[in-house]
C-alpha cells in the first residue's frame, strides 16, 4: 500500500541545506496500523508530510497504491490526495460555522458529490465514531475528544487508501486518548484501512501493529 525508497530531504537556511531525513526506506502493507515514533526534531512530521504529498522530497520515491506521487504534477497530486489520502490532525481542523455532519461531508463537497449522497455517507460514519446523536451540533458544542472523532469520520468519508494521523491524541487527556486509539483500532479492523500514526508517545506506539522509529532523520528500528 505504501512504499518509500531512498527518501532524503533537507530544509534550507542562510547557511545552506540542513538535512532532515536521510535515506529512508520502508514498506507498509494494506490494512496495517503503523506508528511513526520519534522525539521532537527526529523528522517524523516531515516524513508524514512527504508521504502524504504535502511536500516534495529532495530525492527518492513514494508509492501509494503502486503510484509514485513524487512524479505527479501539482494538479494530479491534489486530485490523488482527495481520493486516496485521509488526514487526522492534532488540532482537529474543524470549521466552526459548519455542523458536525457538514464538517464530515466537506471533502465530498470539493469532489462535487451531491448533497443527498454526502449525507448518506456521513451519517453512518458519525454513528461508527459514537456521534450519531450529535450530527447537527457545532464543534464548539463538543469536547476535544468528540471533535477528534469528527476529524476521524471526516478522514474516512472518501474511502481513502491510507490515513495519516499527526499526533491525533496530543491534545487529549489519558482517558480520552485511550478512547480515540480504541476507535482507530476498531475502524482499522472493520474497514481494513491503512493507518500511519505519528506520535512521540511510546504508550501509543505500542498499541499499533508495527512501530517505525526515527532518530536524527534516520530510520533506526522497526518492531
Summarize pLDDT for 53-86 with one digit per residue, the tens.
999 999 999 999 899 999 999 999 999 999 899 9
Confirm if 89 and 76 have CB atoms less than 8 A apart: no
Distance (Å, whole) CA 69 – CA 60: 11
Distance (Å, whole) CA 85 – CA 52: 7
Distance (Å, whole) CA 68 – CA 59: 12
Alpha helices for the chain (secondary structure H): 44-51, 74-84, 100-110, 115-128, 144-156, 174-191, 202-205
The span from the first CA to the last CA of the chain, in angstroms, equals 18
- Per-residue model confidence (pLDDT) at position 223: 82
Position 32 pLDDT exceeds 90: yes
Position 41 pLDDT exceeds 90: no
Position 143 pLDDT exceeds 90: yes
The x, y and z cell numbers of residue 137, run together, are 451540533
Domains with residue ranges and CATH for the chain: 2-11+18-212 (3.40.50.300)
Summarize pLDDT for 89-140 with one digit per residue, the tens.
888 999 999 999 999 999 999 899 999 999 999 999 999 999 999 999 999 9
What pTM was computed for the model?
Answer: 0.91
Amino acid at each position: 500500500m505504501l512504499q518509500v525508497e531512498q527518501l532524503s530531504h533537507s530544509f534550507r537556511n542562510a547557511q545552506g541545506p540542513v538535512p532532515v531525513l536521510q535515506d529512508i526506506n520502508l514498506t507498509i502493507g494494506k490494512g496495517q496500523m503503523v506508528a511513526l515514533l520519534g522525539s521532537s526534531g527526529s523528522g517524523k512530521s516531515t516524513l508524514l508530510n512527504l508521504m502524504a504529498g504535502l511536500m516534495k522530497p529532495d530525492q527518492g520515491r513514494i508509492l501509494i497504491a503502486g503510484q509514485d506521487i513524487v512524479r505527479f504534477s501539482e494538479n494530479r497530486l491534489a486530485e490523488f490526495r482527495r481520493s486516496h489520502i485521509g488526514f487526522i490532525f492534532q488540532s482537529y481542523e474543524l470549521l466552526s460555522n459548519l455542523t458536525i455532519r457538514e464538517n464530515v461531508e466537506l471533502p465530498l463537497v470539493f469532489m462535487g458529490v451531491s448533497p443527498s449522497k454526502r449525507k448518506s455517507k456521513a451519517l453512518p460514519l458519525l454513528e461508527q465514531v459514537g456521534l450519531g446523536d450529535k450530527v447537527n451540533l457545532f464543534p464548539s458544542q463538543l469536547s476535544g475528544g468528540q471533535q477528534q472523532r469528527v476529524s476521524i469520520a471526516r478522514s474516512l468519508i472518501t474511502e481513502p487508501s491510507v490515513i495519516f494521523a499527526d499526533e491525533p491524541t496530543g491534545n487529549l487527556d489519558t482517558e480520552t486518548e485511550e478512547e480515540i486509539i480504541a476507535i482507530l483500532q476498531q475502524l482499522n479492523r472493520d474497514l481494513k484501512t491503512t493507518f500511519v500514526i505519528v506520535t512521540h508517545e511510546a504508550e501509543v506506539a505500542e498499541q499499533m501493529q508495527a512501530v517505525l522509529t526515527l532518530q536524527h532523520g534516520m530510520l533506526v528500528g522497526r518492531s
